[in-house]
């Protein structure tokens, strides 16, 4: 009798650091009902993948779910798939971290369910040519990707082998037709499609694999669970023609169709999002070009991975090293490194937890590699691989990194006691969904660094500065600065010749560190032939976005006292500005030698989510200004200090 085998597979995931209420909602609306469906229809086989962060939450908060899942696997027709534990994009990880995370998941499934996985899920189905080596070395035998990577002739009714460096792995293909139909076409039409593919070839199989959250969690998806129940009923009625199976069962009983070398990339929509109006091309790595903030996180992640290697070479603290690796790996979850339809890198809480885990891991490493008691370390290297040096200053409580390409801007400022990166910001970039907005956002011309200097030769107000509708009256942002050597490791100096208001000028910026902060000394010299009149001052972008609004507020000056960070203000004669974050237990105090005019406002960016477009607070912006008049061959000096300490609770 003619038949078609059918693999029904679901992937379930919640990002590291997602809100507990999101886990709860997804559990009640999708994870629990789906498991109940599999209990109700024991004749239907399925392959299921749950990411590590989700499994850890389920074990802690819903142990009964784990018991039920374990019971289903013992039934024999439910497969548990492995994967990289924290759901990273494997293509962006060093080999050892790929293998380490997959083995961590293998061990987790074995310890919690007594289950030895044979196959794995790839985060966002992103494939690269070197993955067969990683998969094989992790002890697994097959994975699943979109069929357009495998063949132009669809459907693909089986799996292929592929190889890299002498390691072979099986590659199953997800049917694009089934992905488009389930759960949007009627269950009857999907069954008709499956029946149209029956044949006398016992090896023929079609694969459907999709996010489990599509059944109950996504907007307007409540009806999808009823859809699935009807679909399972129909599968039961057509068991003689449509035989459900699992990847594992199929792989154990059938040979590959041959060998292939899949093209690199993810699903088709990803290439559209990666390019998104700026012409960056295709492939997941294009997101690293589109979002410099993502590239920075990735390159810092890679740097920390190398430091773990260095620590391992010492042959010490093997037990602590395992803990550090797990902490580090939890900072590699893909969700905060890109943007599609789920917010991604534009969601501050995801970036926060990514940085928190990376900072905690690096802090533990540095405690063994450096003597940070009263010492200040100074490193100059090109961290983000853009060809320009990044200058790193490390103290006991701080790590600061400056970008010589953009006027020595402060691109990272880690306060270690709270494990926060205070420069964890993001600029606003063109996105496809902006075309749907009546009022489009203002796009940033430069990264949202701190210690970026502004020069204005016109009258200014907070709206002009905030909306970036007034041009800088200088060219200091257009070229890289020179990094000057100093005799002290606690000091970094940047300088550059340029122009201000069409007069030649020279800027020197010297930053001197203490254990808990730094002092900034500016020297601006007029090398022109006429006086220069202008507003000058540094801009700070601080990502004070942890905790409820009432736990993030100004405590100084008096004009801003107890106001939250979404307030817009323009205040004269400010000598000290203090921000408190009692949720994350830190305070930022900026003091100036000469009173300054200070503008404050929030950086709010529209973000696309499954529920639509919403405006999300990214960081607070602080602009300090002084009205300067510098005569030819004269200079002006300005000094300010930044101190970071525990909050005044």
State whether 199 and 240 are in the same domain.
Answer: yes
Cβ atoms of 518 and 400 within 8 Å: the answer is: yes
Number of structural domains found in the chain: 3
Residue 403: inside a domain: no
Q: Which residues contact 585 (CB under 8 A, 6 or more apart)?
A: 417, 418, 646, 647, 649
* Burial class (CB within 10 angstroms; exposed 0-12, middle 13-18, buried 19+) of 643: middle
- Evaluate if residue 154 carries a pLDDT over 80: yes
Residue 427: inside a domain: no
Residue 206: inside a domain: yes
pLDDT of the residue at 107: 98
State whether 356 and 469 are in the same domain.
Answer: no
State whether 240 and 303 are in the same domain.
Answer: no
Q: What tokens were used for 279?
A: 């012409």
Confidence of residue 278 (pLDDT cuts 50, 70, 90): low
Report d(CA 526, CA 505) in Å as an integer. 5
State whether 572 and 476 are in the same domain.
Answer: yes
State whether 114 and 168 are in the same domain.
Answer: yes
State whether 190 and 322 are in the same domain.
Answer: no
State whether 501 and 593 are in the same domain.
Answer: yes
Q: What tokens were used for 514?
A: 């203490």
Locate the DSSP E strands across 175-253.
205-211, 242-245
The boundaries of the domain holding residue 241 are 4-266
Confidence of residue 609 (pLDDT cuts 50, 70, 90): confident
Q: What tokens were used for 376?
A: 């200040």
Residue 426: inside a domain: no
State whether 298 and 172 are in the same domain.
Answer: no
pLDDT in tens, 532-571: 999 999 999 999 988 888 999 999 999 999 999 999 999 9
Q: Which residues contact 505 (CB under 8 A, 6 or more apart)?
A: 474, 497, 498, 499, 524, 525, 526, 527, 528, 532, 630
Domain boundary among 245, 266, 287: 266
Residue 378: inside a domain: no
Return the closest-CA partner of residue 82 out of 247, 245, 301, 323: 247
Domain boundary among 325, 345, 369: 369
State whether 227 and 308 are in the same domain.
Answer: no
Residue 409: inside a domain: no
Q: What tokens were used for 283?
A: 């492939």
Which pTM value belongs to this model?
Answer: 0.95
CATH code for the domain in which residue 41 is found: 3.20.110.20
- Most trustworthy range by pLDDT among 13-17, 97-101, 321-325: 97-101
User: How many CB atoms neighbour CB 196 within 10 A?
Assistant: 8
- Identify the three-state secondary structure at position 376: coil
pLDDT in tens, 180-193: 999 999 999 999 99
State whether 163 and 66 are in the same domain.
Answer: yes
Taking residues 326-343, what's their average pLDDT? Answer: 89
pLDDT of the residue at 311: 87
Report d(CA 52, CA 40) in Å as an integer. 26
Taking residues 320-339, what's their average pLDDT? Answer: 93
Q: Which residues contact 222 (CB under 8 A, 6 or more apart)?
A: 29, 216
* Burial class (CB within 10 angstroms; exposed 0-12, middle 13-18, buried 19+) of 388: middle
Helix, strand, coil percentages in the chain from 3-state DSSP, rounded to 5: 35, 30, 35
pLDDT of the residue at 281: 59
Average pLDDT over the chain reads: 93
Residue 157: inside a domain: yes
pLDDT of the residue at 500: 96
> Angle at CA 580, nearest 5°, toward 335 and 618?
30
Q: Which of 50-64, 477-491, 629-643 has the lowest mean pLDDT?
A: 477-491
Residue 499: inside a domain: yes
């Amino acid at each position: 009798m003619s038949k078609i085998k059918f693999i029904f597979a679901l992937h379930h995931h919640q990002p590291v650091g997602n809100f507990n209420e999101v886990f709860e909602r997804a559990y009640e609306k999708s994870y629990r009902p789906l498991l109940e469906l599999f209990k109700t229809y024991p004749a239907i086989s399925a392959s299921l993948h749950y990411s590590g962060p989700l499994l850890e939450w389920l074990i802690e908060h819903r142990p009964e779910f784990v018991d039920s899942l374990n019971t289903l696997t013992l039934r024999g027709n439910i497969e548990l798939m492995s994967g990289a534990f924290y759901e990273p994009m494997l293509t962006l990880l060093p080999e050892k971290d790929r293998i380490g995370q997959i083995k961590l998941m293998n061990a987790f499934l074995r310890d919690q369910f007594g289950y030895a996985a044979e196959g794995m899920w790839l985060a966002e189905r992103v494939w690269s040519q070197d993955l067969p080596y990683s998969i094989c070395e992790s002890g697994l035998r097959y994975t699943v990707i979109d069929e357009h990577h495998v063949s132009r002739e669809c459907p693909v009714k089986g799996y292929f082998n592929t190889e890299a460096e002498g390691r072979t792995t099986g590659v199953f293909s997800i049917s694009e037709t089934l992905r488009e139909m389930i759960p949007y076409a009627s269950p009857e039409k999907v069954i008709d499609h499956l029946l149209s593919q029956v044949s006398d070839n016992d090896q023929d199989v079609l694969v459907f694999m999709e996010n489990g959250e599509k059944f109950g969690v996504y907007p307007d998806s409540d009806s999808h669970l009823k859809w699935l129940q009807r679909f399972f009923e129909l599968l039961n009625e057509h068991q003689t023609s449509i035989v459900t199976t699992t990847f594992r069962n199929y792989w154990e009983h059938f040979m590959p169709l041959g060998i292939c070398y899949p093209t690199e990339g993810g699903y088709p929509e990803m290439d559209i999002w990666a390019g998104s109006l700026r012409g960056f091309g295709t492939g997941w790595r294009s997101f690293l070009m589109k979002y410099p903030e993502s590239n920075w996180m990735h390159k810092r992640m890679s740097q920390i991975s190398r430091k773990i290697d260095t620590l391992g070479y010492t042959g010490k603290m093997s037990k602590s090293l395992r803990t550090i690796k797990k902490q580090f790996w939890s900072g590699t979850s893909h969700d905060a490194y890109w943007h599609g339809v789920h917010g991604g890198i534009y969601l501050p809480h995801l970036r926060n937890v990514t940085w928190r885990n990376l900072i905690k891991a690096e802090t533990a490493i540095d405690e063994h590699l450096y003597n940070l008691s009263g010492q200040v370390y100074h490193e100059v290297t090109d961290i983000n691989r853009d060809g320009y040096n990044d200058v790193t200053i490390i103290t006991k409580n701080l790590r600061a990194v400056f970008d010589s390409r953009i006027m020595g801007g402060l691109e990272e400022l880690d306060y270690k006691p709270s494990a926060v990166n205070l420069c964890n910001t993001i600029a606003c970039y063109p996105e496809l969904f902006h075309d749907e907005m009546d009022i489009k956002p203002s796009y940033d011309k430069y990264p949202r660094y701190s210690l970026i200097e502004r020069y204005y030769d016109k009258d200014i107000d907070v709206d002009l500065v905030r909306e970036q509708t007034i041009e800088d009256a200088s060219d200091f942002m257009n070229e890289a600065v020179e990094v000057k050597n100093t005799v002290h490791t606690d000091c970094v100096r940047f300088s550059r010749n340029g122009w201000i208001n069409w007069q030649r000028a020279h800027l020197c910026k010297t930053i001197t560190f203490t254990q808990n902060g730094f002092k900034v000394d500016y020297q601006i010299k007029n090398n022109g032939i006429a006086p220069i009149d202008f507003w000058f001052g540094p801009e700070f972008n601080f990502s004070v976005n942890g905790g409820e609004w009432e736990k993030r507020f100004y405590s100084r000056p008096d004009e801003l006292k107890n106001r939250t960070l979404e307030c817009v203000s323009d205040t004269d004669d400010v000598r000290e500005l203090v921000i408190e974050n009692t949720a994350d237990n830190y305070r930022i105090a900026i003091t100036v030698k000469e009173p300054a005019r200070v503008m404050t406002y929030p950086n709010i960016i529209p973000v696309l989510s499954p529920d639509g477009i919403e405006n999300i607070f990214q960081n607070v912006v602080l602009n300090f200004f002084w009205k300067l008049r510098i005569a030819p061959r004269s200079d002006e000096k300005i000094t300010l200090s930044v101190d970071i300490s525990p909050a005044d609770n």
